Amino acid sequence: MTGIPIFNVNNNCSTGSTALMLAKEMVECGKAECALAVGFEKMQKGSLGSVFNDRVHPMEKHIEVMSELVDISATPIVAQMFANAGLEHMKKYGTKPEHLVKIAWKNHKHSVNNPNSQFRDEYTLEQIEKSPRVCGPLTKLQCCPTSDGAAAVIVASESFVKSHRLESKAVEILGMEMATDLPSTFNERSLLKLVGYDMTKLAADRLYKKTGKRASDVQVVELHDCFSANELITYEALNLCPPGGAGGLVDRGDNTYGGKYVVNPSGGLISKGHPIGATGLAQCAELSWQLRGEAGPRQVPNAKLALQHNIGLGGAVVVALYQLGFPQSKNSNTRARKTAAAASEDGFIVTPFLHILQEAMLEDQDGLVEKHRAIYGLKVQNDKGEEGFWIINTKKGKGKIEFNGKDKPAVTFVIKDADIIDLLTGKIEPQRAFFQGKVKIQGNMGLALKLTELQRSAASKIDALRAKHLKSKL
């Protein structure tokens, strides 16, 4: 609704990185000073299937070639493709199913430290190996889950970064390359090449040549591990090791902390999840945090050069290298001022209104509290840079409102002190406040809607009590 150009991008599993590449090129050619690449996915239940039945499936030729090389089973077709590629690698180079198990074990272990990961459970090698079998050597814990999610990346020119004093946050896209299926994908009768080995290698070789970098210069990697077999194959396609060397790389621990590279510190697609349109941008976000030193307990030591790999069968792959744009500014104090927690509820415009809300809850004659049983959090920021925190607990009785309460909220609202009065008194619709950015919601969106219903229902009561209080003061 602003008139700016917007492009819808669909490139199977490499959609997010394709959008990022388009944003980069818009800025690079001078069409834009600042661009936003955003990706999202709300997936259907179960394994990937065909959505459009009125056109040729983009993987029709891939499946046709696979059917000529191996028997097609009733298991999910994409899992079959990567399982068969893994089996071909084992036959060709002597790798074992145990190597695939170790890759999944590593990624699940990494995910424990990632608050954005869909799953954060650590498993033993035996648990992974004995989890339900999906196809060939692949078990359930070696496969990415069905995921909903979103991610976004802002791409800006160097002049934009400097004019907004963002040097300390700026990550440079040192290079980005895309490749698509090659004649060898179909002509050379290789299951490895059918799932993108050749196009990944082509894109990676171009990237290293154009940037003057080598794979050995990289410290941290986010690569497309939709299945553990794909991570194994991709080590070699990205030149992290020579052809046939992936098993040895895994055995040496050169894919995790303390080794040559840290691959998928986020937990990878296997744990972090694979919301298809968002994945490439989520990879970029993780690598940016790593380069800035903002990755917390999963921080890769001395991360200076980061490599990304995002592939979609059908087929397209994007690879990219990242480094800090202004490394000398990494620790400079240009970040936004942090909000300090308030020690008292005094000094907040909202405080007397919350007291009135508590009174309205206690006098509740319409049974509104009963309809909205939950624990809600309210963070309010005043113009002094202080943040007050209240717990609104309606789980028992008429409920209570407590400043700095210890109960854990299921949903928390974040709002400025100057805006909350209009919200509490019904002068502004909650949905409008949310979409205008005046209210941020953390946690259960369903419960957030319940509280806004309570606010709307109780607005007249709050207004009447407020008038009563004002009259008594006069």
134-169 core/surface letters (b: 16 or more CB in 10 A; e: else): bbbbbbebbbbbbbebebbbebbeeebbeeeebbbb
pLDDT for the residue 310: 98
- Residues 5-17: tens digit of each pLDDT: 999 999 999 999 9
Regarding predicted confidence, which is higher, 456 or 23? 23
What average pLDDT does range 452-470 have in this prediction?
61
Reported as a single tens digit per residue, the pLDDT across 167-190 is 999 999 999 999 999 999 999 999
- Does position 397 have pLDDT exceeding 70, yes or no? yes
Report the pLDDT value the prediction gives residue 103, as an integer from 0 to 100.
Answer: 98
Query: Which of 53-62, 64-73, 424-433 ranks highest by mean pLDDT?
Result: 64-73
What pLDDT, on a 0 to 100 scale, did the predictor assign at position 444?
75
Residue 103 in contact with residue 250, Cβ under 8 Å?
A: yes
Output the pLDDT for position 74. 86
Report the CATH fold assignment for 349-471: Nonspecific Lipid-transfer Protein; Chain A (3.30.1050)
- pLDDT at 337 exceeding the cut of 50: no
pLDDT (average), residues 278-283 = 97
Average pLDDT, the chain: 89
Rounded CA gap, 458 and 462, in Å? 6
pLDDT band at 336 (very low <50, low <70, confident <90, very high): very low
Residue 134 CA to residue 132 CA, distance in Å, equals 6
Answer yes or no: 226 catalytic. Answer: no
pTM of the model: 0.73
Per-residue pLDDT averaged across 296-305, rounded? Answer: 95
Find the distance separating the first CA and the last CA of the chain, reported in whole Å: 47
Q: What is the mean pLDDT of residues 330-353?
A: 70
Please state the rounded mean pLDDT for residues 216-232.
97
* Bigger pLDDT: 306 vs 346: 306
Confidence of residue 291 (pLDDT cuts 50, 70, 90): very high
Q: What is the pLDDT of residues 376-393, one digit of tens each?
A: 888 998 877 788 999 988
Within 10 angstroms of residue 432's Cβ, the number of other Cβ atoms is: 11
Q: Is the pLDDT reported for residue 419 higher than 60?
A: yes
CATH code matching the domain that covers 12-43+59-332, chosen among 3.40.50.720, 3.40.47.10, 3.30.1280.10, 3.40.640.10 = 3.40.47.10
Whose tokens are 């009563």? That residue is 468
Catalytic residue among 13, 135, 226, 284: 13
Q: In this predicted structure, what is the pLDDT of residue 449?
A: 64
pLDDT at 460 (0 to 100): 63
Listed in order, the ranges of the chain carrying CATH 3.30.1050.10 are 349-471
